[in-house]
Amino acid sequence: MLFVALLLSAALAGNGNNVKGKLLLVPYPQIVEANFLNPTSISATSKITYTLSDNCKGNTECVEFVKNNFNHSITFPLQRQMNLDDFRLSLFAPIDLINLTPDIQNSVQTISIELTAEDFFPELTIGVDESYTLDITTESISIKAPTVFGLRNSFETLVQLFRPYNGKYVITQVPISIKDFPRFKWRGLMVDCARNPFTLSTYYKIINAMAMFKSNMLHLHLTDGQTFLFESTEYPLLSQKGSYTQKKVLTQKFLKELIAYAKTRGIIVYPEIDLPAHAASWGIGYPDIVADCWDYIKTWTYNENLPALNPVTDETFKVLDALFGKELPSVFTSEYIHIGGDEMNEVAWSRSKEVSAINAWMTEKGIKTYLDLEGYFNKYVQTQVINANKKGVAWEEVYAKGNADLSTVIQVWSNITYLKMAVDDGYKAIWSEGLYLDVQAPACPDSERVEKGCKVSHMYVWTNRDFYNSDPTIDFSPEELENVLGAEAASWHESVDDQNVMERIFQRYGAISERLWSPSYYTDADSLEVRADYLRCVGLRRNILKGSGPLYHSYCQLPENL
C-alpha cells in the first residue's frame, strides 16, 4: 500500500507541461499577459541599472531604500548566476521545461521606475499599498508602483524572469505585462524562538527568505515553557536565568536592529509573550510568579508547557505591566502585540502547591472558577496593550472563552470554525489552522498505518498540496472577508534549530505564499511544484534558501563559492 502511494505521488507531481502558458513565478501575480511559448526575448547583464522618478530622487530615504533593494534583489542575484546553466526539471524532453531558444530583439540595460502615490514612502503598516505594474517590451522594462513597498515586490517578480543564457540573461515570451497586488493584507510566518533558540543571524536569513515570497508579517514567539528569550531591562532575570545562553537572548538593541532591517524588506515584526500557561521559564528567575505544579508534572508528559502564572503575588502583575505596558511597545514599532492565551489547563493551578492561596485570592477578587481566572489574565494584558496604543493578537481560546476585546485580532489555530464565528462577531481574524509547518511528512511511517487510513495527501511532497488547498475563506461573504486580515504559517520548533530551519519552513512555504497573495480562483498545484522548485533554485543561487531542499527532482547549478 505504501509503495502504491509513493508511485501515485511520483506520477502526479508537476512537470514542464504544467507550466505551458504560465511564467515561472511564485507567488503567481494577479494579472499576467505574456507572449506565451514565444521565443521573442530581450537580453540584459548583471550591470543593469535603473532610473528613478523625480519624487524619489529628492528623498534620501527613498533613494537608499531603492538602492538597497535593487542590489539585494536584482544586481547581486544576477552577479551570482552569471554563466550558470539554466534550471532543468528533467533530461527527458516530454516532461522538461519548455525549451525556447531566445529570439533576442534588443539588449536592455536600464529599468524605468516610477513611484506614483503622493505618499510614496508611507509607514509600513497592515494595508499599506503593496501593488505594482511591470511592463516588459522589446524596447524597455518599466515599473510603476504607488509606494516603495510595492516597488520592492516588483523586484522579486522581475528577478525570477531573468534566465541565464550564453553568458548573459534573457527574458523570453515578451511582451509581458503584470498587474499585481496581494489578496490578503496579512501574509505571515510565526517562528517559535523559544524551543530550540536560534543564533541571531538566522533571523535575518528568515526575513530575506520571507521577502522572496512577498510575505509581510513575522511573528516572534519569544517565550514558552522552555526558555524566555526577550530581554527585559526591568526584570532582567527573566532572560538571564530563563535561557541556555545569553548569546541567543533577543536583546532590545538586537530587536530594534532586526525590525529596522525587516522594514527594508517590507516586513513587519511583532512579538508574542505567551501566558498564562507556557510560563515555566519565567519562574527560573522569579520563582514566586509561577505556580509550582512540578510534582504533578512528574507523572505527566506535558512537562514544561503546563506551568502557569501565579496570581497571588503582586509581582506577577508588575512583570506584566512592565512587559506589555512598557517594554514591548517601546521596542516593537508594529501596532500589534500578541498576548498568547493558548492551551491553559486548570490543573496548573488546581494541582499546584499554591492552590489554597490561589483559591483564597480568587474568592477575594470574586473570581469563581479557574476558567474565570484564565480570563482575568487574558483581559489584564489586553488592557495593558490597549493602554499602550497597540492592538492585541490572541490565540483562538481567548475568543472562544469570551475573553477577547473587540480590538484584538483572533488567530485561529486548531478549530477553523472559529474563523467564521469570530469575523461574524465583528472581530478581525487570521488563520493558521492547516498551515502548520512543523507537521512533517511522511505521517505514515509504515504500511500498517497506511492501511489504517493515512492518506496519500500526507506523504512527503503532498503536504505542499495540503497547504495549497487550505483556503477556509473561499465561501465567505464580502462582509466576512473584510474582517479576515489573512493568515500565518506556524513553525513550531520542538524539532527545529539552525541546522534545519530553512528546510522545514521554506521548502513548502511557496504554497502558502501563493494562497495568500494570488487570486482566490488561482489554484494550480501541478504548476506550483515546478514554479516553487524554480524559485528555490533562484533562492539558493542568491544564498537565501541555503539548506532548503527541492520539492521534486530537478537540476539547479550553483555558484562554486556557495
What pLDDT does residue 11 have? 44
For 2-180, CATH number out of 3.30.420.40, 3.30.379.10, 3.40.50.920, 3.40.190.10 equals 3.30.379.10
CA separation, residue 66 to residues 153, 204, 559 (Å): 11, 19, 26
pLDDT band, residue 299 (cuts 50/70/90)? low
User: Nearest-CA neighbor of 510 among 485, 531, 481?
Assistant: 531
**Residues carrying CATH 3.30.379.10, the chain:** 2-180
> What is the residue-averaged pLDDT of the chain?
93
User: Three cell numbers at 338?
Assistant: 500578541
Q: pLDDT tens digits, residue range 217-242?
A: 999 999 999 999 999 999 999 999 99
Question: Residue 361 pLDDT more than 90?
Answer: yes
Nearest-angstrom CA–CA distance, 47 and 122: 30
Class of CATH domain 186-435+470-517: alpha beta
Nearest-angstrom CA–CA distance, 524 and 514: 10
Question: Residue 312 pLDDT more than 80?
Answer: yes
Prior bond of 559 cis (ω within 30°): no
What pLDDT does residue 45 have? 95
What pLDDT does residue 439 have? 67
Question: Residue 354 pLDDT more than 60?
Answer: yes
Percent of the chain with pLDDT over 90: 85
What is the set of active-site residues? Answer: 343
Residues shown for the chain: 562
- Which segments of 410-524 does DSSP mark as H helices, in order? 417-424, 447-451, 463-468, 478-483, 501-506, 509-517
Question: Residue 56 pLDDT more than 80?
Answer: yes
What pLDDT does residue 467 have? 86
DSSP assignment of 387-411: HTT-EEEEEHHHHHTT---TTSEEE
The DSSP code for 113 is E
pLDDT band, residue 525 (cuts 50/70/90)? confident
Question: Residue 497 pLDDT more than 50?
Answer: yes
**Residues carrying CATH 3.20.20.80, the chain:** 186-435+470-517
What pLDDT does residue 327 have? 99
Question: % helix / strand / coil in the chain, to the nearest 5?
Answer: 40, 20, 40
pLDDT band, residue 296 (cuts 50/70/90)? confident
Lowest mean pLDDT among 110-124, 176-190, 362-376, 547-561: 547-561
Lowest mean pLDDT among 25-34, 112-121, 327-336, 464-473: 464-473
What pLDDT does residue 302 have? 56
What pLDDT does residue 440 have? 61
Q: Average pLDDT in the 193-204 region?
A: 97
